[in-house]
Amino acid sequence: MLVYDPFLSEEDARQLAVTKVSLEQLFTTADVVSLHTPALEETHNMITEGHIASMKEGATLINTARGWVLDELALIDVLQQRSDLYAVLDVTDPEPPEETSLLYDLPNVILTPHLAGNIAKERERHGQAVLEELQRYLAGEPLQHAITQEQAQIMA
């Protein structure tokens, strides 16, 4: 499995059994590119027309990250020219797309409603995890899900 992540160390990549590649190489070689980047100033429109146009024949782009990481006008342009490419968009910018957006009409686009949250049993499990973490904190025990300030700045 290929991955582009400027914050992933080579050692962590080995442990995860993934191969780190450049963003450009990811787009030119992957059958499916799935975006999971946070909305940061440096990620705004980081996926450009060049990335999308370079995708191999029959490839699919999935965006479940944030709409603003993907240049949607460029995506529309490329998808109009390349019916062999597909896009599955759980997020858009703006969200939902404007009523006149061509994303609704392109046959190679699937739009899904951005749920952005937990449902059913997930809420119960997350609530239990928060409670258990709070109990560890109050007991002075090490936290199982602690993150550093640096990690928080690059998380989705």
| 52 closest CA partner among 111, 130, 109 | 109
Length of the chain (residues): 156
Which one is catalytic: 66, 82, 98, 150? 66
Which one is catalytic: 49, 82, 114, 136? 114
Kindly report the backbone phi and psi dihedral angles of residue 114, in degrees, each rounded to the nearest multiple of 5, phi listed first: -75, 110
Which one is catalytic: 82, 95, 133, 136? 95
* Active-site residue, 95 included: yes
Secondary structure (3-state) at 109: strand
Find out whether 54 and 27 touch, Cβ atoms under 8 Å.
yes
Active-site annotation, residues: 66, 95, 114
